[in-house]
Structure 1
């Protein structure tokens, strides 16, 4: 049995150097960050290890399956079954929601439970012996051997290696300073590609099916953290009008529904910008605001 890491995300702190270094797990997206999730096939694999590589997957055919939402683990419906979890995201598809629980500590980042749809017995439960996903610090060329145990299975082994970094070209975006980690099992290897800002998964590769899971994350080069002081979004909930105050420059506002589809966008200028929300159905929406020196994301309710 192998640890099937199809949906993997990065909880790290990396420096914007030629060789990114994973220093800790402090820079994790806040509750409300979202990105589309798509599936595809990559029969040729992801290539070998190395420095300053370019992975050109611009022609990769992807099918959108749903949306990834980062959530506060303590507010999720199954936290009582995995009380040690302090990091979580969920994947929402037309078939329902699946939760992924993790433990983030000062020395490592571990997988606790994945694909949980209805509590214990659903998905994969690694609570007997969690899987190490990252160690801190983690530099290029470092390998860490680990054992893990899934409920109902025997103990297995995996070798976790930071084996490459470089530029990842996807059909919808190009990402620089990408870190690749290899998960080596007895019969093959999975891979995960991580962005540096924000610190999120961009793509994972599963060797058994030659399949990829791609996360359509928007990256703002040169912004080390989400900037909130320059932007105000109100009221929340909104009914007819959503106001966005931009203190400097210009930015683009994008609005997504609960399925991850973009339902609106508008150019923002310095000052108060009024967004007409009267035509949108009631529900929870997610937004991001991106400009030269501005990056803000979050969720709003439309009534």
Structure 2
């Protein structure tokens, strides 16, 4: 399968591709990192453990509308903060949507990144098959990347660029039915929420799961007004089950 193929319900068969296993990627709340007090503006972290054992963190601010990068390579001598955050994704991010963002790293000039959601389907690598993946095309100040993501939790799987192919082994993912983020099946308010999260469903929903960004189930409910006071501050997936499928959105607990 050609990695340049875009469109709906695509099968990207990259099983014959030789990819560099970059290491493992783990998705954490900031409280589970050593950097919560140093980067109070971040509420979500990706911990990368490279093949060979070295670790570093990319830190993000995740809200109901934006997923932005606050700092990268934290924990190494090359740690860099963004004085103007770089947008990784916007929500809702729908098929054929494209957006551009101006960002700036400390001690560097402004740059522009453009992301386009240009395909979805299934991805086959040389050791795994992933359903319900999203393909994005990124032009980061002239450097181009094609990335495939799982959507719940939002995690990178595979990247193709001029430097070759990179595969991340995910240490925290959710499994189960085919999912997609959608605000067409249900809406929720307020978001962010402190005490209660209210669900307005446009179709019959059999149950709702609340899942943290590491893919861990927090609780299941059938109520349309959900008590979230017991949750720690941070970002969560609201996963709704209906006869037509499984749908996810993100809410922020304050």
Q: After TM superposition, is the score higher than 0.5? A: yes
| Counterpart in the other structure of 1:143 | 98
In structure 1, how many angstroms separate the alpha carbons of the residues matched to 2:16 and 2:104?
37
| Counterpart in the other structure of 1:241 | none
Instruction: Say if 2:64 and 2:91, in contact at 8 Å, map to a contact too.
Output: yes
| Counterpart in the other structure of 1:277 | none
1:214 maps to 2:172: no
Cα distance, 1:136 vs. partner? 1.2
| Counterpart in the other structure of 2:240 | none
In structure 2, how many angstroms separate the alpha carbons of the residues matched to 1:163 and 1:69?
26
1:175 maps to 2:130: yes
For residues 88-109 of structure 1, what are the alpha-carbon distances to aligned partners after superposition, in whole Å with 9 as ceiling and x for unaligned? 1212233422011000012111
| Counterpart in the other structure of 1:276 | none
In structure 2, how many angstroms separate the alpha carbons of the residues matched to 1:113 and 1:55?
31
1:58 maps to 2:15: yes
Higher strand share: 2
Cα distance, 1:194 vs. partner? 1.2
**Which protein has the larger Cα radius of gyration, Structure 1 or Structure 2?**
1
For residues 126-149 of structure 1, what are the alpha-carbon distances to aligned partners after superposition, in whole Å with 9 as ceiling and x for unaligned? 1x1001111111110111111000
In structure 1, how many angstroms separate the alpha carbons of the residues matched to 2:2 and 2:39?
34
Q: Secondary structure of 2:31's match?
A: helix
Q: Considering only aligned residues, what root-mean-square deviation do their CA atoms show, in Å?
A: 2.7
Structure 1 residues without counterparts, runs of 5 or longer? 1-43, 231-303
TM-score, L = length of structure 1:
0.53
TM-score, L = length of structure 2:
0.63
In structure 2, how many angstroms separate the alpha carbons of the residues matched to 1:227 and 1:104?
19
Q: Secondary structure of 2:145's match?
A: strand
In the TM superposition, what are the counterparts of 1:36-75 in structure 2 within 5 Å? 46-75=3-32
In structure 2, how many angstroms separate the alpha carbons of the residues matched to 1:223 and 1:211?
26
Instruction: Say if 2:25 and 2:168, in contact at 8 Å, map to a contact too.
Output: no
Aligned length: 183
